[in-house]
């Protein structure tokens, strides 16, 4: 590292992505504490230098400290990354509020939506952390590949230019790069919405669909994402970047994705409950689908793929019937924003 100020970093969350981000920061020489709710897990990570639960087999930097003491983890932090499942995100933000310094940079890496008011994680932070400077990190990032030093690109989004440049300096390495974007809402929507379509492509793969079908699904998924995001005030052009089409391609083409694996299990005849239980971790796309379907109906946004998946998971429709209905649906324009 050269010409980079050493920062004090806290990463909240003991899962795979939080661990990957914390390990990059620590490897770059920053004083880094990773907070985990479970004291036993924190102790094991601290002593064994490995997150055996989520990233087994990958040695962590000796400069990374694991702790279950939230106040200790964030007390001196210049930058806090939050990598908590969306269902617990607000609770952790509320716990964080009285513990951080004024003007602390707080960056969400969580790809999900809170049910109340269709609230994204940056909006939760705005509501709960009055004096914080807020950003979002999202992109086509499997944690296992990050810690294995596979070349990876991601996006840091904020209207705060200093926050963006700070995050880029903190996490820049020979194998990890952060690209800037000012459209927080669009970047977050990309990270959340693509999980819906990963379930669909997982189903399609298991049903034996070919490359033609998958290409059509990916492209029309991107059209739906952009259409929905534009209606909510995001820039649809954001979806042409890493946080949009990049994350969509990654999540919809790999069985490292929990959402993709859920789709595969559904197509094999498993119930939603059994499929989720077998995966054993949060599958954000299921909750996101419920919320997006409700919001799309409310706003009258045409989202045939999301509606079809909702029919299969929650309304008792068969996969075959839905596939036939989709091919008989509206033949709209291919690229919707090219002349705007």
Measured in whole angstroms, how far is the alpha carbon of residue 57 from the centre of its chain?
Answer: 23
Helical packing angle, 184-206 and 258-267, nearest 10°: 30
Q: What's the burial of 105, exposed, middle or buried (CB within 10 Å: 0-12/13-18/19+)?
A: buried
d(C-alpha 340, C-alpha 321), whole Å: 36
Q: What is the DSSP letter of 40?
A: H
Q: 160: closest CA among 122, 128, 117? A: 122
Number of H helices, E strands in the chain: 15, 10
Active site residues: 194
Beta strands in 175-260 (DSSP E): 176-181
């Amino acid at each position: 590292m050269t010409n980079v100020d050493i920062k004090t970093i806290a990463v909240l969350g003991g899962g795979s992505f939080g661990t990957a981000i914390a390990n990059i920061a620590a490897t770059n020489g920053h004083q880094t504490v990773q907070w985990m709710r479970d004291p036993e897990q924190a102790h094991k990570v601290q002593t064994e230098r490995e997150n055996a639960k989520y990233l087994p087999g990958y040695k962590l930097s000796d400069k990374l400290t694991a702790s279950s003491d939230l106040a200790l983890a964030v007390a001196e932090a210049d930058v806090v990354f939050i990598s908590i499942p969306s269902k617990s995100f607000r609770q952790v933000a509320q716990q964080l509020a009285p513990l951080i310094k004024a003007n602390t940079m707080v960056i969400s890496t969580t790809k999900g939506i809170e049910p109340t008011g269709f609230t994204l994680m940056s909006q939760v932070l705005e509501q709960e952390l009055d004096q914080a400077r807020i950003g979002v990190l999202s992109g086509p990032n499997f944690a296992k590949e990050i810690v294995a030093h596979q070349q990876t690109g991601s996006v840091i989004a904020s209207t705060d230019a200093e926050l963006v440049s700070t995050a880029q300096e903190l996490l820049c390495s020979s194998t990890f790069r952060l690209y800037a974007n000012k459209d927080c809402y669009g970047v977050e929507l990309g990270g959340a919405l693509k999980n819906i379509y990963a379930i669909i492509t997982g189903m399609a793969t298991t049903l034996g669909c070919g490359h033609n079908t998958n290409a059509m699904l990916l492209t029309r998924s991107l059209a739906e994402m952009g259409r929905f995001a534009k209606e909510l005030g995001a820039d649809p052009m954001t979806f042409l970047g890493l946080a949009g089409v990049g994350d969509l391609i990654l999540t919809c083409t790999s069985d490292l994705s929990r959402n993709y694996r859920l789709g595969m299990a559904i197509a094999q005849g498993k119930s939603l409950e059994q499929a989720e239980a077998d995966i054993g971790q949060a599958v954000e796309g299921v909750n996101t689908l419920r919320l997006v379907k409700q919001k799309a109906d409310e706003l009258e946004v045409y989202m045939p793929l999301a509606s079809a998946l909702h029919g299969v998971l929650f309304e008792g429709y068969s996969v075959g019937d839905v596939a036939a209905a989709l091919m008989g649906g509206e033949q709209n324009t291919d690229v919707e924003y090219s002349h705007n």
